[in-house]
Structure 1
């Protein structure tokens, strides 16, 4: 699969390493330009290269968005329209600036990213500590395997993302649709940042 990753911070670079490690072609981009990513790409190795944000968006059959939520309007919306986009973002008003709609809980950050891009947005990888994502992938059936909540409106898009999660050593847990599901694994929820199995995550999401 061709995967574009926009954002080369801790989550984005960890996913680039995982996806390239299982043979997916990856184009990794940040806001500062591909020349700033050469050392990282060399360190990851395999089928990964640096590109511009536009190149990553155009290249990916699936595109990971791992940027501060407050900068989501810098994304190349026309290029992302209709694509499967994995949204790893979280809204932090102290970093992103206050958004009245999000502060009032009339919508969610993922819904706003979907509205802006017109993509099939699937929220995932936002609730896991980056160190766990980097280090805690385990084979299927391993009792130490961690869960990653997933929410989205399009079932086929969710299935694609769930497959990627399984392949890199974690268990996807369906939290529901993008808005109602996303609210269950955003900052401040019981599963956010928690070290949980799939069964434990399902129980907490159901209770929410």
Structure 2
């Protein structure tokens, strides 16, 4: 008779990383819902006392845990920045040391004011965030798709018509971790380059505001150098290199 062995009991399912979100606005609450639905514990902070956002979170992202920004930064495994870019200096940098930080922020002069440091074509805003968080590892993701499309567009992996989100970073393992989050949220991750290249995901680019499948994101990223914004960025960086 064949030698049969009883099935071995399955081991415990590895816990998914706890996601922290700094910013309880439209993008922050949408990302909270998507990642909660994927099984991630989610911690979220607003601009002050967690009690101020508790009711909003109960309605818009039930299951997310309101905390202070410092607590979110310390307790989460991966932290997503979803606050106004002009407030980046309020980010608790020390608490984020050693952590992967996903930069989903954009420069809006209507909100942030006219800021040369946030609109300089020689530097992507994610490079600016990386310089402010020297002990963290920054990846750009979740910034170029409108929050309505984020909210309404997630589909299972492999589903026809699934939309894509561009990601950019300098470290392959961190890009892989960010890609896993994008996939968990319901979108195809598309690497588009380094943090320096992430400027092609910012306002003024063809991809900003785009709601495209993976091939469309890849094509738009490839066209960036030939666009008006791409030429502007290239000229500014060439002048910097020549100085």
TM-score class normalised by the smaller sequence = over 0.9
User: What pairs with 1:188-203 in structure 2 (closer than 5 Å)?
Assistant: 188-203=204-219
Which secondary structure state, in structure 1, belongs to the residue aligned with residue 212 of structure 2? Answer: coil
1:35 aligns with 2:47: no
Which residue is equivalent to 1:130?
147
- Please report how far the alpha carbon of residue 77 of structure 1 lies from its aligned counterpart in structure 2 after TM superposition: 0.7
Query: Are 2:65 and 1:45 equivalent residues in the alignment?
Result: no
Cα root mean square deviation, aligned: 1.4
Aligned partner (choices 167, 170, 190) of residue 187 of structure 2: 170
Note the residue ranges of structure 2 that are not aligned, 5 or more in a row. 1-16, 225-243
How many residue pairs are counted as aligned between the two chains?
A: 206
CA–CA distance in structure 2, aligned partners of residues 81 and 146 of structure 1: 32
Measure the CA separation in 1 of the matches of 2:186 and 2:121. 33
- Shifted more, 85-94 versus 127-136: the winner is 85-94
Question: Are 1:18 and 2:41 counterparts?
Answer: no
Q: Does the CA-based 8 Å contact 2:107-2:119 persist in structure 1?
A: no
Q: Identify the residue that residue 4 of structure 1 maps to in structure 2.
A: 20
Deviation at 1:102, TM superposition (A): 4.1
Q: Tell me the CA shift for residue 184 of structure 1.
A: 1.2
Instruction: Trace 1:92-107 onto structure 2 (pairs within 5 A).
Output: 92-107=108-123
Aligned mates of 1:3, 1:104 — CA distance in 2? 30
How does the TM-score come out when normalised to structure 1?
0.94
Give the structure-2-normalised TM-score.
0.81
Asked if 1 retains the 8 angstrom alpha-carbon contact of 2:154 and 2:186, the reply is: yes
| SS of equivalent residue, structure 1 residue 176 | coil
1:92: how far off?
1.9
Q: In the TM superposition, what whole-angstrom CA distance separates every residue of 1:160-197 from its partner, at most 9, and x where no partner exists?
A: 010011112100110100012x1111111111111211
Partner Cα separation in structure 1 for residue 120 and residue 73 of structure 2 = 31
Structure ID, larger Rg: 2
Question: What is the alpha-carbon distance in structure 1 between the residues aligned to residue 146 and residue 106 of structure 2?
Answer: 12
Q: What do residues 123-182 of structure 1 show as CA deviations (whole Å, max 9, x unaligned)?
A: 1111001011111101122222111010111211111010011112100110100012x1
1:66-105 matches, cutoff 5 A:
66-105=82-121
> How many Å apart are 1:94 and its aligned residue?
3.4
Aligned residue in 1 for 2:167? 150
Aligned CA distance change for structure 1 residues 145 and 74 (closer, same or farther; 3 Å): same
Structure 1: runs of 5+ lacking an equivalent: none
Aligned equivalents of 2:217 and 2:175: distance in 1?
Answer: 17
